[in-house]
Chains A and B, each alone.
Chain A
Amino acid sequence: MVLNNLRITRIAAHEILRRNDDRMVVEPRYGDEVIALSDDALDELADRIVSALGRASRSMDMDIIQSGTGSAVDLSRQIISAPDDRAHVEVSRGVADKLADSQASRAIPGGVLVVISGEVGYPARKMVALIKAEVQSGFVKKFRDDGSLAVEFLTDLFLTPESKLYKMGIFVAPPADPMPALPKGWEASVYDVAMTAGNRLTAAQYFYERFLGLGFPRNAAMYTKQFHDLTKTYIGGLPISEEKRSDLHNALVTYLKVEVNNVIHVGEFADLYFDEPAAKDAFQDYMAANDFPLQQVQKDLGDIRANLRFRRVVFPCDIKLTAPAESFGDMVTLETIDGDLDPNGQIQEWTRITVKGRIQAQT
């Protein structure tokens, strides 16, 4: 999602409590007024939002599934059309109720819900950001009247840069006026660290699905294939040694097939497998230029399982080397070596192949 030119207009906050022992919803502790922040604090808040949801972040664009009355997108629509601060706070209480209601398990901790309205994009579009921030403890330094240092322990810090402790959703309204019927033209994106690791997906469900009414886009398999194909083409065209190229092809297989993440993230791939900052930028540029999202996308190997099964290397005279993709990196080494002179007196490039193992059969 494009999150440039972010401007924050109104902020409200409410405390969401863990369900009680009978697993009944505990009514949130509501804030009464919009929160006024200094410019520095607003900058910091904008920083949190962009770090979580901006370009190259670990957020995911989602499909809006629930858009009926009282859904998160419906409440967001009411918030952006709030005529005054009072109305903003009023509607945001409904959002707090919805989050409290969505936290169906006692295992889910409480936290502070921050409801932010504002604008984003150029030209600007209205947006609502919903942050659930868990509290943490920490220390602050203070100076006594005599100038000596004192340390105070705080137990209610929230929205520190520790991003594991917050989840965030954003709804961006369509530019059209009057707005079409929900959810047409609306865009939604979610940041939740629990969505990245495959085995914890259920832990994230209450937030993105029950609370925000969002679902994973149904094009995961298509994106995964696109990522694979684009990256393969990119690696094929890089002006690098064949050894390095082979390493990158192996890396692509590893990233898609072996990594336990259930998401694909262009920046993560660049960080893991390209060394130079210029190479990282170039790869991300290439993917962006080919309209591949720089945010996370869900991984679905359905359409490329066959492509990932074998790695093939082709030489002149129809000589081919084929190996299971997963073991290629461990078992096979390719090296470029100097060969004999060609008829023009130039040194030819030859390849030395090392396979860690005996020949088992020949035909």
Chain B
Amino acid sequence: MSETQFIRRWNHEKPQYEAWGSFVVARMKASLGGRLGSESAVEYFLKIPVKPRVKDTASLVDKAFARDKPYANPYTDITDKVGVRFVVLLNEDVRLMEELLCTNDAWVARKDKDYEEERESKPWTFTYQSLHYIVFAKQDTDVDGTIVRADTPCEVQIRTLLQHAHSELSHPNIYKPRVSATPEMVRVAARSMALVETADDYFDQVVKKTRENDRPLEEAKRTLDASYRKHVGQEAEGAKSNTFIIDALLSLVDDNLEQRLDTLIASDGYIIDRIRQRSNDKSLYRKSSILLLYLLAKTRPAELLEKWPLHQGELRPLFVDLGVALSAIGR
């Protein structure tokens, strides 16, 4: 294929690649949203706005013809004609993106570069780290009126925020052969990569430890949310104040929370009606912690009043519902 033919074909197919790149981004965001629960969570999860980038013609031709390693079929062999980059916070986030990428049925994903595998094969090297996949359209795909042919490739890079910072710094200078890197440059870049890898490890530990510490709270919240859904018949409001209340009362929650809630509702089922009635104009009754409050008002009233972080008046209606004289306890 001559350069002219190459450029002509590229100009002709460029819109297809643009469409394919947008399609990959949209699909990935959708499945990420399914996993994380909301669009805002997706925006938070992706640390840099994701935009598909189509190679400009000059650098594509440069890569196809001017390099020292010649391609047998430059047009098809160059698989990063369009590229997408997902930047996330943690190593585990990288693996989540990978999982979503590999389970999407719109394309076939082929791994191109895996930094963890490279760490194992070259443990002494600290160099550019990123996870690269090429995804090929499984079949002809209509993207907003543009038909993307089967096997159209798109390069997908997935990396942590720190890996991204490092590559921003070093990638153009060291891995593109325009400037020949001195040993000092390579050494400093390697040292900073080692630092990045170490910091990423620490990030993982921070998250792991936070999660361990939050586990009882998260478990209580999950149990309460599920119980609210089951008994009240609607989703509880996921407000911050809900976590605040559960956290304040966590020392009064024991292992059998789910069973205790079921027992409570079996013996005092009317509280569900009361919750439904009041939930229209009182936000306390739209939070799943309301079930915990009823449970404690019935079983551990004095301790509830001691630990309750808000105004005591908020609890009065609960005690009245349960037929418990609050004034006799709240001394």
Contacts and interface: CB of A to CB of B under 8 A. Distances in A.
Contact of B328 (A58, A122, A278): A58
A81 interface: no
A47 interface: yes
A122 B271 CA distance: 10
A57 B330 CA distance: 12
B324 A55 contact: yes
Most chain A CB within 10 A, of B306, B317, B319, B323, is at: B323
Interface in B287-331: 299-303, 305-306, 316-317, 319-329, 331
Interface stretch (B105-113, B149-157, B262-270): B262-270
Given A50-B319, A267-B329, A280 B324 contact: no
A46 B320 contact: yes
Contact of A3 (B268, B323, B328): B323
Given A43-B320, A47-B320, A57 B299 contact: no
A24 to B, nearest CB: 38
Contacts of B317: 43, 47
Interface in A268-298: 270-271, 277-278, 280-281, 284-285
Contact of A52 (B268, B322, B325): B325
Most chain A CB within 10 A, of B306, B319, B325, B326, is at: B325
A281 B270 contact: no
Interface string A102-127: 00000000000000000010100000
B222 to A, nearest CB: 26
B321 A5 contact: yes
Given A277-B303, A280-B302, A6 B320 contact: yes
A5 to B, nearest CB: 4
A2 interface: yes
A183 B190 CA distance: 92
A3 B302 CA distance: 19
Contacts of B299: 281, 285
B271 to A, nearest CB: 8
B268 A50 contact: no
Contacts of B316: 47
A277 B323 contact: no
A277 B322 contact: no
Interface residues of A, number: 29
A4 B268 CA distance: 8
B331 A54 contact: no
A281 B330 CA distance: 12
Nearest to B322: A4
A222 interface: no
Contact of A281 (B302, B320, B328): B302
Interface string A45-66: 0110011111111100000000
Contacts of B329: 56, 267, 280
Q: For chain A, what secondary structure do more than half of its interface residues adopt (helix, strand, loop), or is it mixed? A: helix
Contacts of A43: 317, 320
A51 B326 contact: yes
B325 A51 contact: yes
A78 interface: no
A123 B318 CA distance: 18
B268 A5 contact: yes
Contacts of A281: 299-303
A120 to B, nearest CB: 7
A270 B329 CA distance: 10
Contact of A122 (B269, B300, B302, B327): B269
B323 A4 contact: yes
Interface string A1-43: 0111110000000000000000000000000000000000001
Most chain B CB within 10 A, of A3, A43, A54, A163, is at: A54
A277 B305 contact: yes
A46 B319 CA distance: 10
B268 A122 contact: yes
A6 B321 CA distance: 6
A50 B306 contact: no
B44 to A, nearest CB: 40
Contact of B331 (A4, A271, A278): A271
B303 A122 contact: no
B306 to A, nearest CB: 4
B328 A56 contact: yes
A55 B325 CA distance: 6
A51 B300 CA distance: 17
Interface string B193-232: 0000000000000000000000000000000000000000
A280 to B, nearest CB: 4
B294 to A, nearest CB: 11
Given A277-B302, A281-B302, A267 B328 contact: yes
B320 A50 contact: yes
B9 to A, nearest CB: 74
B320 A55 contact: no
Contacts of A50: 319-320, 323-326
A58 B325 CA distance: 9
A303 B303 CA distance: 35
Q: Which 8 A-B pairs have the closest CB atoms?
A: A3-B323, A57-B325, A4-B323, A277-B302, A54-B325, A5-B270, A56-B328, A277-B306
Interface of A: 2-6, 43, 46-47, 50-58, 120, 122, 163, 267, 270-271, 277-278, 280-281, 284-285
16 contacts: A3-B323, A43-B317, A43-B320, A52-B325, A54-B325, A55-B325, A56-B328, A58-B325, A58-B328, A267-B329, A271-B331, A277-B302, A277-B306, A278-B300, A278-B302, A285-B299
Interface of B: 267-270, 299-303, 305-306, 316-317, 319-329, 331
Given A4-B268, A122-B268, 16 more contacts: A4-B270, A6-B321, A50-B323, A50-B325, A51-B327, A51-B328, A52-B325, A54-B324, A54-B325, A55-B322, A56-B324, A57-B325, A57-B328, A278-B302, A280-B302, A281-B303
